[in-house]
A and B are shown apart, each in its own frame.
Chain A
Amino acid sequence: MTGSASPLPLNLPGLDRRFSHTIAVPGRGLDEGVHRDWHYLDTGDELARLGVPVVGTILAVHGNPTWCYLWRDLVTRSVQAAQSGSPAWRVVAVDQVDMGFSERTGIHRPLAQRVVDLASFTDTLSLTGPVVTLGHDWGGVVSLGWAVDRPAQLVGVMLLNTAIHHPEGTPIPAPLRLASARGVLAASTVHTTAFIDTTLALASPALDSAVKDAYRAPYRSADRRKGIGGFVADIPADSQHQSFSELERIAAGVAELDVPALMLWGPRDPIFSDFYLDDLVERLPHADVHRFEGAGHLVAEDSPYADAVLAWLGDNIDRLTNPASTSPRASYALARSGVEDPLFTPLWHRLDERRDDDSTAVIDMSTRGRRSPRQVSWRQLSDRVDRIASGLTAIGVHKGQRVSLLIPPGPTLTAVVYACLRIGAVVVVADAGLGVKGLTRAVRGSWPDVVIAESPGLIAARTLGWPGVRISAARLSKIAAAALGVSHSLGDLVAIGADTLLPAPPLPDDEAAILFTSGSTGPAKGVVYRHRQLSALRDVLASHFDITADTGIVTGFAPFALLGPALGTRSITPEMDVSAPRTLTAAAVAAAVRDSRAGIVFLSPAAILNVVATAGDLTQQDLVELERVRTFLSTGAPISAELLASAGALMPNANPHAPYGMTECLLVTDITLDGVRAAADDGDSGVCVGAPIGSNRVLISALDAEGRAAGAPSFQAGVLGEIVVSAPHLKDHYDRLWLTDRAAVRETGLDTDSPGERWHRTGDVGHLDHLGRLWVEGRLPHVIVTPTGPIAPVGAEQDVEQVSAVRRAAVVGVGPHGLRQAVAVVETVRPTKRPGLASPEVTAAVRASTTLPLVAVLAVPQLPTDIRHNSKIDRSRLSQWADCVLAGGKPTAP
């Protein structure tokens, strides 16, 4: 069946029929001489009615098998934004011919024809003025075709999951391979609704049935679905394909586009995976990219894409409205080019300096199949770093490429990290604490060019389909190497690189590392550091804790183990399973101090717990060795004063410190045990974490009545708000999380400040006191917004934990936002078997312990905590659980 555009059905959820139009478009190419009726959505009339000046047009092109209904939220939200005074963007969203409610032509339309079709449509519509294209799926390609052909009108490009290039010789994604296979194609796409149903089922959370019906509305019969089959048949799987050259032409053109670009991506897409995102980022390196964790192919349904689009248009309004005056490519390149800085000392500087030094640089006592500790001299380490660096260079690894490291902490990891840094490759470090799912997300999301791993990591990489060239840390048999898809071992690299010269070192502003957050506060995020920031971290650590070549550090906390060579002092990992801090014993710490004559000990709270628990095993000699320690640090998570004091007691000459920081800024403030004790007398709410280290600055962005951090950041004491920090060693940005980045730097800084100062919203809440000390009171999402204002949980939790029957407590909110009621959830000293109301006695004692009115006291056998630290209580989950129980649900375990 062919025929003109059909009328839009009534009552499609979320779409106002006022915006629906049809237009007869003179055909070109295959359609020369005939007119085709197009259906499209257009907000132009509505904006004219509102009398707002239109700054430009968003030309939105759907993919297969959707239609312009995909863009309904943008249609609605853009008009609302214009109504509320934001710059008005007209949205024109087409139904491509043979699709949606546009005409059925009965003619197969290869890509080149579709690009011509769209041009004819916009010409007929007399679309003048600046245009930002927006495309999804194959609509992304068609929209980019329009973009490369209309440079005079084009001011920006926006893309949702799409692909512009497919490397020859590699198979196209399996689901498409299946769908386009002869025989299957017609059956799945045209004769049945299988292709539509499968696509709609990808939405997460699942679509309302009314929305699904709306998507299906134009495709009710096989005749009306021919376009869907046509699109699938038009996927150019190889260079012989009819549309291959047009795709190549567009792909090449995209690499020349010099307009602002936005990519919004759903990573859970079986077809347009991160592989294609990576390709697009290479072509448009200046693009702003946001991956919506949890969203998939139908990212427009799974995420608030319309708000993201409008926010991006708002942020870029100057560049979009004065396109001639800017070159996004040039400014991106300029920002990244960096300059030599004579004052800059690279992280590997000490390795170069001490390349002829035979004294010990690294000792590894961790027990991984070895009897005696492994000792590496400065000469050996320096040599190994150079050789690996050369080897990586020889196999083509170069500056800017990402190298994912799945190697446990130890001398091998240390050598590989410095080798990568030396050649400018970006190291990606995610720790096993994320779990396999989290790790897979992290590795896939950062899309590494190379994965260097030990066998477990390689097996995971193989079975879970992680990207990247695989290098084995250990030497493998040929069979094992082939089975794991491993191309080289580190040993091979050393041999291969023997004759290769090292490249020029990276510049201070080149990217150096991506560290992953713990995931205890939402999906793990990749945090990007530049060389300058890592060097600054080294320097602040050295100066604050007075670390010199003679100091020596014991590192039971992995991130700091890596910094030993940069600090130019020997570092030692004690006997322990480095991936499980709680395996560290007091005797192992004493042995490490003895062997390294270390003056500083870094431990995590989980390790300290066990060190204190095993202190009884220390010999008299061990105790003497521990007297050598002058500084002791608890890092990585909050620690109680009691535990810090117990550990400090084992090192009588050491000053115990508990610095506060996060993956984005590893050292923010610092407090000593004496400081903790002094603070306890002051009785503020929260955990006192001391004063800012070095040149760091800490401000508070006050919470408003709705619990939003709306206040201008200030030093004012006693104000509850979000903690905002600046530091020379602060992260640069989040990886491919443009919206997250935007939120983290929103309205930060002081008017009078040096413009170069970089700020970060931590997502933690707390207050400053009159002595300039910071008190942490919880996480921003855990703030309980009651009818009388926002309440941070930690202060009340501390009150409740004073009750003798309570072991650990969490205070969370239940009920609707703005009306939340505070509830205490406790682990009792005598553990309860079943979750439910606490006993009347415990309830009364808990209520009496705090001034915060508590509507209920619930007792649970165990509070849910994060995987990495086993100490950060998952208050969000607990809040949902309490909400359900206190609504009258069955009290199951939280």
Chain B
Amino acid sequence: MIVLVTGASGFLGRAVAAELIATGHEVRTLQRRPSGLHGATDILGSITDPGQVARAIHSAEGVIHLAAKVSLAGDAREFHTVNVEGTRTVLAAAEAAGVSRLVHVSSPSVAHAGSALEGVGAESASPEQARGEYARTKAKAELLALASDSVKMSVIAIRPHLVWGPGDTQLVDRIVDRARRGRLPLLNGGTALIDTTYIDNAASGIVAALHRADVAHGRAYVLTNGEPRPVGDILASICLAAGVRPPRWSIPAGLGRAAGSVVERVWAARPGADEPPMTRFLAEQLSTAHWFDQRDIRKALAWSPTVTLDEGLRRLKASYRHD
């Protein structure tokens, strides 16, 4: 089928588009920069421009909507314009074009209120409880997307959690960069169990969601490797794969959160070029458990991860050796 992928220049978007091409779909992409993908038709533009979106979506049967402003800090209006209004534009264009399946790629943070998540399912998105502008606007976007689920267009929301792998500039590079500069603390000894998602699994899961949207639509699923590990283990493994010294210092979680909260406020008033070293959201992510019940999604999508955490780390290490 003809599938439009929004945000295909990103780490995950590119992998999803490549997976679609590999499974024999005709792929179009919509983003501001070239996707660099062989076999895809790039349409350069923004999801905030209804005209560009309508052109990109014309005659497509499926849409995978990944484009979003992803950041831990930044201007609230910009988050809203891209994540909420952009999604609204994509949904409207998809309905108008007679798209039959739409996968909205979301985030577990849309339902995260700061407490530990242990083996939970995908609770409803809650803009009121979400922490930070990113999570808040993504929560609103997911609610909009699922509200568009109809007899004509099956909408399914997938929330991959902490996607990583070779070539990842969002998570892996930041961890490695901060570890290198000694700015990566462990909170409470790094014992919180965190579930992550290896890039190939995230891509194959999202494509499976497109294939199964006709039966599994109308709700959100959290997608992970289903292999929770202590955050300290994960950070150390990533650092070791990249050949940098793993974090050695631990600070109490409460202190980390308080510091994050202060830094966040200062950054909001005087935004810098870089991301703040510690936000309240990040402190929570690093100090409380985040792992999820994967039984529903595996059944609904008839899918399961093919790359284990350990295999993923081996591939990550190999990628650094090639660099």
Nearest residue (CB) in A for B293 is: A819
- Report the separation of the CA atoms of residues A27 and B119 in the bound assembly, to the nearest whole angstrom: 60
- Asked whether A819 and B119 contact (CB < 8 A) given A837-B232, A889-B188, the answer is yes
Q: Are B289 and A856 in contact (CB under 8 A)?
A: no
Nearest residue (CB) in B for A890 is: B188
B20: interface (CB < 8 Å): no
- Report the separation of the CA atoms of residues A837 and B231 in the bound assembly, to the nearest whole angstrom: 10
As a 0/1 sequence over residues 218 to 242 of chain B, the CB contacts with chain A under 8 angstroms (1 = contact) are: 0000000001111011001000100
Nearest residue (CB) in A for B228 is: A855
- Report the separation of the CA atoms of residues A787 and B297 in the bound assembly, to the nearest whole angstrom: 13
B81: interface (CB < 8 Å): no
- Report the separation of the CA atoms of residues A814 and B228 in the bound assembly, to the nearest whole angstrom: 11
* A contact residues around B236 at 8 Å (CB): 840
The interface stretch among A231-239, A409-417, A687-695, A880-888 is: A880-888
Summarize B's interface: helix, strand, loop or mixed.
mixed
* A contact residues around B191 at 8 Å (CB): 836-837, 856, 858, 885-886, 888-889, 891
Q: Are A821 and B188 in contact (CB under 8 A)?
A: no
Q: Are B192 and A886 in contact (CB under 8 A)?
A: yes
Which of B116, B118, B294 is the one whose CB lies under 8 Å from A787? Answer: B294
* A contact residues around B74 at 8 Å (CB): none
A183: interface (CB < 8 Å): no
- Report the separation of the CA atoms of residues A883 and B252 in the bound assembly, to the nearest whole angstrom: 18
* B contact residues around A840 at 8 Å (CB): 233, 236, 240, 246
Q: How far in angstroms is the closest Cβ of chain A from B287? A: 5
Q: Are B116 and A887 in contact (CB under 8 A)?
A: yes
Among A775-806, those with CB < 8 Å from B are: 787
A815: interface (CB < 8 Å): yes
* A contact residues around B118 at 8 Å (CB): 814-816, 883, 887
Nearest residue (CB) in B for A847 is: B310
A579: interface (CB < 8 Å): no
- Report the separation of the CA atoms of residues A646 and B50 in the bound assembly, to the nearest whole angstrom: 82
* B contact residues around A843 at 8 Å (CB): 233
B10: interface (CB < 8 Å): no
* B contact residues around A815 at 8 Å (CB): 118-119, 291
A853: interface (CB < 8 Å): yes
* A contact residues around B322 at 8 Å (CB): none
- Report the separation of the CA atoms of residues A727 and B294 in the bound assembly, to the nearest whole angstrom: 45
* A contact residues around B295 at 8 Å (CB): 787, 819
- Report the separation of the CA atoms of residues A891 and B291 in the bound assembly, to the nearest whole angstrom: 19
As a 0/1 sequence over residues 861 to 894 of chain A, the CB contacts with chain B under 8 angstroms (1 = contact) are: 0000000000000000000000101111111000
* B contact residues around A883 at 8 Å (CB): 118
* B contact residues around A821 at 8 Å (CB): 119, 193, 228, 291
Q: Are A887 and B289 in contact (CB under 8 A)?
A: yes
- Report the separation of the CA atoms of residues A494 and B192 in the bound assembly, to the nearest whole angstrom: 67
Interface residues on A, range: 20 to 34
Residue from B116, B188, B193, B295 with most neighbouring chain A CB atoms (10 Å): B193
Which of B119, B187, B246 is the one whose CB lies under 8 Å from A888? Answer: B187
Nearest residue (CB) in B for A820 is: B119
B45: interface (CB < 8 Å): no
Residue from A858, A886, A889, A891 with most neighbouring chain B CB atoms (10 Å): A886
- Report the separation of the CA atoms of residues A853 and B310 in the bound assembly, to the nearest whole angstrom: 12
Q: Are B233 and A888 in contact (CB under 8 A)?
A: no
Q: Are A855 and B119 in contact (CB under 8 A)?
A: no
Q: Are B288 and A887 in contact (CB under 8 A)?
A: yes
As a 0/1 sequence over residues 174 to 203 of chain B, the CB contacts with chain A under 8 angstroms (1 = contact) are: 000000000000011111110000000000
Nearest residue (CB) in A for B298 is: A787
Nearest residue (CB) in A for B294 is: A787
Among B50-78, those with CB < 8 Å from A are: none
- Asked whether A855 and B188 contact (CB < 8 A) given A887-B116, A887-B118, A888-B287, the answer is no
Q: Are B289 and A853 in contact (CB under 8 A)?
A: no
- Report the separation of the CA atoms of residues A609 and B206 in the bound assembly, to the nearest whole angstrom: 58
B253: interface (CB < 8 Å): yes
Nearest residue (CB) in B for A854 is: B229
Nearest residue (CB) in B for A821 is: B228
Among B114-134, those with CB < 8 Å from A are: 116, 118-120
* A contact residues around B229 at 8 Å (CB): 855-856
- Report the separation of the CA atoms of residues A888 and B119 in the bound assembly, to the nearest whole angstrom: 14
Which of B120, B252, B288, B289 is the one whose CB lies under 8 Å from A890? Answer: B252
* B contact residues around A856 at 8 Å (CB): 191, 193, 229-230, 233
Nearest residue (CB) in B for A855 is: B228
Nearest residue (CB) in A for B115 is: A887
- Report the separation of the CA atoms of residues A819 and B292 in the bound assembly, to the nearest whole angstrom: 9
Q: How far in angstroms is the closest Cβ of chain B from A96? A: 45
Nearest residue (CB) in B for A856 is: B230
- Report the separation of the CA atoms of residues A885 and B188 in the bound assembly, to the nearest whole angstrom: 9
Which of A814, A853, A886, A888 is the one whose CB lies under 8 Å from B253? Answer: A888
Residue from B116, B236, B289 with most neighbouring chain A CB atoms (10 Å): B289
- Report the separation of the CA atoms of residues A821 and B253 in the bound assembly, to the nearest whole angstrom: 23
- Report the separation of the CA atoms of residues A352 and B102 in the bound assembly, to the nearest whole angstrom: 90
* A contact residues around B246 at 8 Å (CB): 840
* A contact residues around B192 at 8 Å (CB): 886-888
- Report the separation of the CA atoms of residues A891 and B253 in the bound assembly, to the nearest whole angstrom: 11
Nearest residue (CB) in A for B117 is: A887
* B contact residues around A887 at 8 Å (CB): 116, 118, 192-193, 288-289
Nearest residue (CB) in B for A843 is: B233
* A contact residues around B187 at 8 Å (CB): 888
Q: How far in angstroms is the closest Cβ of chain B from A788? A: 10
- Report the separation of the CA atoms of residues A836 and B189 in the bound assembly, to the nearest whole angstrom: 7
Nearest residue (CB) in B for A882 is: B191
- Report the separation of the CA atoms of residues A853 and B228 in the bound assembly, to the nearest whole angstrom: 10
As a 0/1 sequence over residues 107 to 119 of chain B, the CB contacts with chain A under 8 angstroms (1 = contact) are: 0000000001011
Nearest residue (CB) in A for B237 is: A840
Q: Are B230 and A837 in contact (CB under 8 A)?
A: yes
Nearest residue (CB) in A for B236 is: A840
- Report the separation of the CA atoms of residues A858 and B229 in the bound assembly, to the nearest whole angstrom: 11
Which of A819, A820, A837, A886 is the one whose CB lies under 8 Å from B289? Answer: A886
Q: Are B289 and A888 in contact (CB under 8 A)?
A: yes
Q: Are B294 and A888 in contact (CB under 8 A)?
A: no
* B contact residues around A836 at 8 Å (CB): 189, 191
As a 0/1 sequence over residues 271 to 308 of chain A, the CB contacts with chain B under 8 angstroms (1 = contact) are: 00000000000000000000000000000000000000
Q: How far in angstroms is the closest Cβ of chain A from B197? A: 15
Nearest residue (CB) in A for B232 is: A837
Q: Are B188 and A891 in contact (CB under 8 A)?
A: yes
Q: How far in angstroms is the closest Cβ of chain A from B122? A: 14
- Report the separation of the CA atoms of residues A858 and B190 in the bound assembly, to the nearest whole angstrom: 11
Q: How far in angstroms is the closest Cβ of chain A from B249? A: 13
- Report the separation of the CA atoms of residues A887 and B187 in the bound assembly, to the nearest whole angstrom: 12
Q: How far in angstroms is the closest Cβ of chain B from A740? A: 30
Q: Are A816 and B189 in contact (CB under 8 A)?
A: no
Q: How far in angstroms is the closest Cβ of chain B from A891? A: 5
* B contact residues around A853 at 8 Å (CB): 227
Q: How far in angstroms is the closest Cβ of chain B from A661? A: 37
As a 0/1 sequence over residues 280 to 302 of chain B, the CB contacts with chain A under 8 angstroms (1 = contact) are: 00000001110101110000000
Nearest residue (CB) in B for A819 is: B119
Nearest residue (CB) in A for B240 is: A840
- Report the separation of the CA atoms of residues A819 and B116 in the bound assembly, to the nearest whole angstrom: 15
Q: How far in angstroms is the closest Cβ of chain A from B43? A: 41
Q: How far in angstroms is the closest Cβ of chain B from A835? A: 9
Nearest residue (CB) in A for B286 is: A888
Q: Are B253 and A890 in contact (CB under 8 A)?
A: yes
Additional pairs, 19, CB under 8 Å, beyond known A787-B294, A837-B230: A787-B293, A787-B295, A815-B119, A816-B293, A819-B293, A836-B189, A837-B233, A840-B246, A843-B233, A856-B191, A856-B193, A856-B233, A886-B289, A887-B118, A888-B191, A888-B192, A888-B287, A888-B288, A888-B289
A-B residue pairs, 8 tightest by C-beta:
A888-B192, A819-B119, A887-B116, A888-B288, A815-B119, A887-B289, A836-B189, A816-B119
8 CB < 8 A contacts A-B: A821-B119, A836-B189, A837-B189, A837-B190, A840-B233, A887-B116, A887-B289, A888-B188
Q: A residues touching B (Cβ–Cβ < 8 Å)?
A: 787, 814-816, 819-821, 836-837, 840, 843, 853, 855-856, 858, 883, 885-891
